[in-house]
Amino acid sequence: MELLKIDYKDWLMNQKRLPDKESQEYDAFFAFHEELCKNGAMMGDTYINPFLYWHLNAWHTEVDVIDEYGRIAQKYSNPSLRDNEWV
**E strand residue ranges, the chain:** 4-5, 41-43, 46-48, 61-66, 72-77
Cα dihedral 7, 13, 15, 20 sign: positive
Check residue 11 and give its pLDDT.
95
pLDDT in the model for residue 44: 94
The pLDDT assigned to 84 comes to 64
The domains of the chain are located at 4-86
Res 4 pLDDT > 90 = yes
pTM equals 0.78
C-alpha to C-alpha distance for 76 and 26, rounded to whole angstroms: 25
Residue 87 in this model has a pLDDT that exceeds 60: no
User: Which value, to the nearest 10 degrees, does the dihedral of the CA atoms of residues 27, 33, 36, 38 take?
Assistant: -60
C-alpha angle with apex 12: 57 to 36, nearest 5 degrees? 75
Q: Encode pLDDT of 26-85 as tens digits.
A: 999 999 999 999 999 999 999 999 999 999 999 888 989 999 999 999 998 887 777 666
